Structure 1
Amino acid sequence: MNNIKKNFIKFAIKKKALKFGQFNLKSGRVSPYFFNSSVFYKGKDIYKLSNFYAQTIINSKLKFDTLFGLSYKGIPILTSVILTLFKKYNLNIPYCFNRKEKKKYGEKGILIGDDISKKKIIILDDVITAGTTIQKIKKIIPKETKISAIITAFNRKEYNSKIKQKKDKIISIIDIKDIIKFLKNNKIMSKELEIIIDYYQKFVKQFN
């Protein structure tokens, strides 16, 4: 496990973005872990989070024109990453994000920011579970827009995902396998680890 993953897990646990217990998911499952990016609402925290995203983007060596953020949680992530890429890597990257509903007055439309027609974009998300949100976004972006990758903080990697791995390049700062490895290597939370491994074998292993 590289230092980016280790440091991000430590950061997420410290800020209680990554929690262990019993959590009801949209899918109806009860998960033994949960990731909530909403806790990164202070300047220092969102800046640190943006550094993990920016470094992941740089390390990926992807070719892209624009960063795309998903409303609503993806918007503060998007803007902070844009600023970090400019400040630390001297990259002046445009952004685009979606509204939840199409605006019928003023500038109108459902997309805000850069015109992403015929461009390559990276979609930024906080968590991928079933891929439902990504599929909805694909319906509102121009058909000629190419998705270079989807970069997320945490990929649950559950086998019922609607995202087709062969078509969509998914890059995550961490995934569930990283959490299992981290807990094992540090010999902590042994009870929680057993429950997580059991959940992994039921809902994740089949997907990989």
Structure 2
Amino acid sequence: MHFIWKHIMLSQRNEFVRFALEQGVLRFGEFKVKSGRLSPYFFNAGLFNSGAAVGRLAQFYAQALVSSGVPFDMLFGPAYKGIPLAATTAVALAQHPDLAGRDIPFAFNRKEAKAHGEGGTLVGAPLQGKVIIIDDVITAGTSVRESVDIIRAAGAEPAGVLIALDRMERAGTDQQLSSHSAVQEVSQKYGMPVISIASLADIMFYLENNSELAAHQQSVAAYRQKYGV
């Protein structure tokens, strides 16, 4: 049974990498990223920008969360990228066959407090119970820290972080790399799991098994050797 379940998860991760490539969200080549590094691949979840694409993305998020086995009561999407992710994933969870019709609440924050109407920075369902923070990737962990503070201030419990891609990449300069990836640091700092739909390891597995993209395999492997965990 464990073998069958592992095979299903590998298939899901592989399918997500294919989907990201089809949507132009995952690309191979040479890209200068925010850290200043030259990366052989680029992942931009903002390019999931149509109804069909976001709907499919939400299904991947929902399945990754359910498959993780992490208990949860609601979703929280940090502004701005997390807002549509929380809303659409809540829809996908409501339709998930393993949740027996559970209706999952969600909330998100504003960057600036609203001075009129209901006021404040929070929108959506009240933060309570075990809350999953949903975002695209974890780079510096700033969004997670702010989200954890908001959730705890409301008296709820941050129960995990759900992201699209774990880059499995260490931060810092080439001369002084951190010992852990951003994902590992977030997990250790807040004592909660980080669930990803896929990871750099899954991208590499896809490259190894796709002859059309074989030319990129060596550069991605070298990048992981240098910066990966």
Please show how residues 164-203 of structure 1 align to structure 2 within 5 Å. Answer: 164-166=186-188, 167-203=191-227
Which residue does the alignment assign to 1:148? 159
Sequence identity percentage = 38
Partner of residue 37, structure 1 = 45
| Residue 124 of structure 2 is aligned to residue 116 of structure 1 | no
Which residues of 2 match residues 21-32 of structure 1 at below 5 A?
21-32=29-40
TM-score computed with the length of structure 2 as normaliser:
0.81
Q: Partner residue of 1:133? A: 143
Counterpart Cα distance in 1 of 2:192 and 2:36: 25
Paired residue total = 204
Residues 100, 110 of structure 1: 8 Å contact kept: yes
Q: CA deviation at 1:140?
A: 3.0
Distance 1:139 1:69, change over 3 A: same
1:157 aligns with 2:142: no
> Where do residues 20-99 of structure 1 align in structure 2 (5 Å cutoff)?
20-89=28-97, 90-99=101-110
Contact 2:73 2:105 in 1 (8 A): yes
Aligned-residue offset at 1:77: 1.7
Q: CA deviation at 1:86?
A: 1.4
Q: Distance in 2 between matches of 1:132 and 1:25?
A: 18
Taking a change above 3 Å as real, the CA distance of residues 132 and 81 of structure 1, as seen in their structure-2 partners, is same
Per the TM alignment, residue 153 of structure 1 is displaced from its structure 2 partner at its CA by 0.8
Runs ≥4 in structure 1, deviation > 4 angstroms? Answer: none
Please tell me whether the aligned partners of residues 19 and 35 of structure 1 are also in contact (alpha carbons under 8 angstroms).
yes
Q: Which runs of 5+ in 2 are unaligned?
A: 1-6, 172-180
Q: How far off its partner does 1:10 sit?
A: 0.8
- Contact 2:187 / 2:194 at 8 angstroms: preserved in 1? yes
After superposition, give the CA deviation of every residue in 1:38-86 in whole Å (9 maximum; x if it has no partner).
Answer: 2222221111111111111211222111111122222112111111111
How far apart, in 2, do the equivalents of 1:169 and 1:69 lie?
16
TM-score of the pair, normalised by structure 1:
0.89
Structure 1 range deviating more: 160-169 or 3-12: 160-169
* Cα distance change, pair 20–188 in 1 and its aligned pair in 2 (3 A): same
- Which runs of 5 or more structure 1 residues have no equivalent in the other structure? none
**Structure (1/2) with the larger helix percentage:** 2
Instruction: Give 1:123 deviation, angstroms.
Output: 0.9
Conserved 8 A contact 1:156-1:176: yes
Amino acid paired to 2:49: Y
Give, in angstroms, the shift of residue 170 of structure 1: 0.7
Decide whether the 8 Å contact of 1:129 with 1:157 is kept in 2. Answer: no
Pairwise CA RMSD = 1.8
1:6 is aligned to 14
